[in-house]
Chains A and B, each alone.
Chain A
Amino acid sequence: MSLYIQNNIEGKLWLRNVLGNIESGTEMLSAIYQKYETANGNNLFYSQLTANQILRFDTFYDCIFVETKNGCFFEKINIDEYTNLIPYTKYFFYNPKKTTHVDYWFDEIDKKIYFTDIEYVSNINLNIEFILYLYEFDCVTGITELKTKEQINFKFKTATSLVGFNPSFENPKITYNSDTKNYNVSFIFRNIDQTFALISIMIKKQNTFKITKIDGIVPFGELDASSSNHFSLI
């Protein structure tokens, strides 16, 4: 099984408590899961959490990341006097799955996690529109903030096997260069023939996060650069 496919297959989360006993994630994280009972309109996300249908999980010091097929969250956790795992803050941020599953980057120096997501919008007359999201989770405060919500429009003069077809976007990968303070979000998208194309988005971190450069390899299309653009939705 490939790593890519493995990350898209559900499993079950088990944790070892302070007494050394192994319990299901549903039991040990119930106080945290409870915050998400009404986070989704139809409670599907909460149902998946309580059924222990977990896609991915990760930990960063005392913070945890949990993802199901319908969404994900980052939470800072605490331990009460009864050794139960409880949320650090009453606030929560549920990130519903859009077109892709999120990818995250842990800034260990600033103790912040940056995660990104892509939402496909439309493909009308070879004008492909999608939205790039970039969130920041603070491992100290346990708060998630939306840092960038940028709509990007690719207008193609010509393209093979793309007319009237929703291109498939694969899960993005985010990385950070500590030398230049730049973030990069790269992802693959494909036409109806599943031909490989790669997009690279550079994001500069200053007071705000700004897209500074977009590169791409699109063998099946010729871009109309004068009609392509991107703009902030925040």
Chain B
Amino acid sequence: MSLASTASGVQFIPIALGTEFDEIVIFAPNTYETIAPLTAVTIGETFFSQTNISTYAPFTLILNPSALDLDSKIYKIEYDFGNGNVVTQTYYYSNTSEDTLNYPFSAEPGDPRNYFQNSTYFLENTDRTYFTVEVRIYQFGVSEFKQYFVNLQLDPPVLDGFGAELGYFKNLHLVSTRMFGPDDTIFYIFESDEPRYILPALVNWQRKETTSSIVIQDIQNRPYKLLKGFERENVTSVETNAKITFVDPVSSSSNITDLGI
């Protein structure tokens, strides 16, 4: 973020450039799981090796161990995704395994290589964040385990757009603003088409910050209408001191007198 001002021209023009609104995205955990970009990493025969991935959050990593080919049978595979998510896939005996020693993969149901593991990563701030994913493969009769690493470099996603850095929201529009308080805090309401969200965000341009309590609301039924500042259900006329009752705009879709153009 940079803050600069100049006397160029007739008046001062302070302009701040920042990425505060990226926080709208990162404060929405677990919301994007189904549409997060997926990357499958196949664990190969070469161990003590690494895979490097640079992309944008949220991001789902899928680890595929089916290519493992070791001398001994695999006892278990530990997946440490580096974000607190640790999964252990252990070999288990199955009655269908008549000869477990020579039972060929992948027909062996209990072979850990039959099970993909995945984890979705969200950022907790707007900084570039690194994760180290470690896979440990244990074998029967072998004391040392094999290791495999995936290095993740995740950047915050851009909010909207279709360039190289694909925007997270499609057709993000500003539909309403309200300003209040002695420090001119602004309440922005955005809506997006894909996914269909309303995104309220409190922004204070003086302090250059957003609040951390962003609430994302999924919109099921459209069209809808946002109340304007002066639209209250019961107000008193300034001129006549008489009560004025406004039609409830939310439930007025069936009212022929309010066509909602």
Contacts and interface: CB of A to CB of B under 8 A. Distances in A.
A51 B239 CA distance: 35
A195 B13 contact: no
Contacts of B205: 200, 202, 213, 215
B7 to A, nearest CB: 9
B184 A2 contact: no
B186 A196 contact: no
Contacts of A106: 228-230
B11 A230 contact: yes
A191 B224 CA distance: 29
A3 B9 contact: no
Interface string A166-209: 00001101111101101010111011011110101010000000
Given A196-B159, A229-B8, A213 B14 contact: yes
A2 B160 contact: no
B82 interface: no
A146 interface: no
Contacts of A186: 174, 177, 186, 188
Contacts of A108: 230, 238
Contacts of A128: none
A88 interface: no
A217 interface: yes
Contact of B261 (A54, A180, A226): A54
Contacts of A174: 177
- Say whether chain A's binding surface is mostly helix, strand, loop, or mixed: strand
A132 B62 CA distance: 50
Given A108-B238, A195-B160, A231-B9, A4 B175 contact: yes
B6 A111 contact: no
Interface stretch (B73-81, B97-105, B165-173): B165-173
A227 B15 CA distance: 12
Contacts of A223: 2, 4, 15, 17
A2 B222 contact: yes
Interface in A57-80: 57, 61
Given A4-B173, A177-B181, A225 B15 contact: yes
Contacts of B238: 108-109, 111
B250 interface: no
A177 B184 contact: yes
Interface stretch (B18-26, B43-51, B108-116): B18-26
A217 B222 contact: no
Nearest to A10: B261
A145 B35 CA distance: 49
A164 interface: no
Contact of B224 (A3, A16, A218): A3
B261 A57 contact: yes
B163 A3 contact: no
B140 interface: no
Contacts of A226: 4, 6, 8
B177 A184 contact: yes
B161 interface: yes
A188 B171 CA distance: 11
A233 to B, nearest CB: 11
B228 A230 contact: no
B102 to A, nearest CB: 56
A211 interface: yes
Contacts of B16: 215-216
A182 to B, nearest CB: 6
A171 B184 CA distance: 21
Given A223-B4, A232-B10, A187 B174 contact: yes
A230 B239 CA distance: 40
Given A108-B238, A194-B160, A229-B10, A200 B5 contact: no
A24 to B, nearest CB: 12
B141 interface: no
Contact of A195 (B9, B14, B158): B158
5 residue pairs, one from A and one from B, having the closest CB atoms: A229-B9, A193-B163, A11-B261, A225-B4, A195-B161
Interface of A: 1-4, 6, 11-14, 16, 22, 54-57, 61, 105-106, 108-109, 111, 152-154, 160-161, 170-171, 173-177, 179-180, 182, 184, 186-188, 190-191, 193-196, 198, 200, 202, 210-211, 213-219, 221-223, 225-232
Interface of B: 2, 4-6, 8-11, 13-21, 158-163, 165, 167, 171-182, 184, 186, 188, 191, 193, 196, 203, 205, 222-226, 228-230, 237-239, 256-257, 259, 261
